[in-house]
Amino acid sequence: MKTILVSAAVIIEGGKVLVTQREEGDSHGLFWEFPGGKIEDGEDPRRALQRELREELGIEVKVEKIWDVVFHVYPEYPVLLLFYLCRIEKGVPRPIGCRALRWVDGRELPEIPLLPADVPLIEGLREKLDAP
């Protein structure tokens, strides 16, 4: 089984992080996730993330440093996720290619049904979101 490469964004504003909800009919529908998507063959992961955020949320971002890398095996396929810290440069996020979006704080983060591959980020994010 081929591993799927994914770029995902960690966007923090005002002590909250942005998460999006997958469409009901999608694979893992209605779960929440950090926004992003598949990296096409030969595509730079940062460019892929910029493209995905433009398509899904209508925003332009500056992709900054890598936050974390997670390998997770779903029953259907394995994924390698590259999580990048990002900063919104233009636009206001709106759900174009997802069901919904919301900004959550460190207390709310463990309470929402995140995709299993995104769960390992909770601890480090809670520390960053709760830091003064």
Domains of the chain, CATH where assigned:
4-130 (3.90.79.10)
Whether 94 has a pLDDT exceeding 90, the answer reads: yes
> Rounded to whole angstroms, how far apart are CA atoms 100 and 64?
24
Residue 26 pLDDT grade (very low, low, confident, very high; cuts 50, 70, 90) = confident
Residue 80 pLDDT grade (very low, low, confident, very high; cuts 50, 70, 90) = very high
Residue 103 pLDDT grade (very low, low, confident, very high; cuts 50, 70, 90) = very high
Whether 131 has a pLDDT exceeding 80, the answer reads: no
- Residue 69 corresponds to which amino acid? V
For residue range 33-45, list pLDDT tens digits in order.
999 999 999 999 9
Q: What pLDDT is stored for residue 115 in this prediction? A: 96
Whether 132 has a pLDDT exceeding 70, the answer reads: no
> Rounded to whole angstroms, how far apart are CA atoms 24 and 60?
26
DSSP structure string for 39-103: PPTT--HHHHHHHHHHHHH--EEEEEEEEEEEEEE-SS-EEEEEEEEEEEEES----SSSSEEEE
Whether 65 has a pLDDT exceeding 80, the answer reads: yes
Residue 112 pLDDT grade (very low, low, confident, very high; cuts 50, 70, 90) = very high
**Mean pLDDT in residue range 99-109:** 95
